[in-house]
Amino acid sequence: MKIIVGLGNPGKKYSENRHNIGFKVVDQLACKYKVKLKRTIRQKAWLGELKIDFDSFLLVKPKTYMNNSGLCVGRVLAKYKVPRQDLLVVYDDVDLNLGTLRIKKSGSSGGHKGIASIIDILGTKEINRLRVGVGRPTFGRGGPNRPLTDFVLSNFSSEEKKQLKEVIKEAAEISLKWFEDRQEKTIKIS
């Protein structure tokens, strides 16, 4: 079994935020493959199992808020006895432009509180991750001095939404295919 965790914040208030792009990628997979995500109390998550040919993927959306994502990830890995190498975490990255996807096998949190929580709970920076670019604030979106927390908790602009659907679709497909070659790569979606 492989595990794909999409990071985000639970609740309608946050559903369209940049910070919830990981949730949107998992939702895309669940929708495309008709997987029902079910709430679990113990794992603090919504979980759903996806089977494609002989592969099995556990789709995970933590019910914890972003800053406590590690609690959920740690519990899911322990319950399903899946090695860390078979985990892929999908989350937003302000250091990448919208339309850029980057897969890495390890690294620091880069200031992202969700991945920092996972690093802390798992005790390692060697965590496979798919970073989905959401860009940084510009003059047209509140200025370059806008706090990043405000920016990631804001919704995408109508202009960005035109590109967002394709970005989420591509990120979902890449998250499944990555387990075949496990290569670090950067993908730009035009």
User: Hey, which residues are catalytic here?
Assistant: 19
Please give the torsion angle defined by the CA atoms of residues 175, 178, 184 and 187, in that order, rounded to the nearest 10 degrees: -60
Residue type, 9: N
Measured from the Cβ of residue 153, the count of other Cβ atoms closer than 10 Å reads: 16
Provide the edge-to-edge strand list for the sheet that holds 87-93.
38-40, 45-52, 55-62, 2-6, 87-93, 129-133, 100-104, 185-188
Q: What is the DSSP letter of 155?
A: B
Report how many helices (DSSP H) and strands (DSSP E) the chain contains, helices first.
Answer: 5, 8
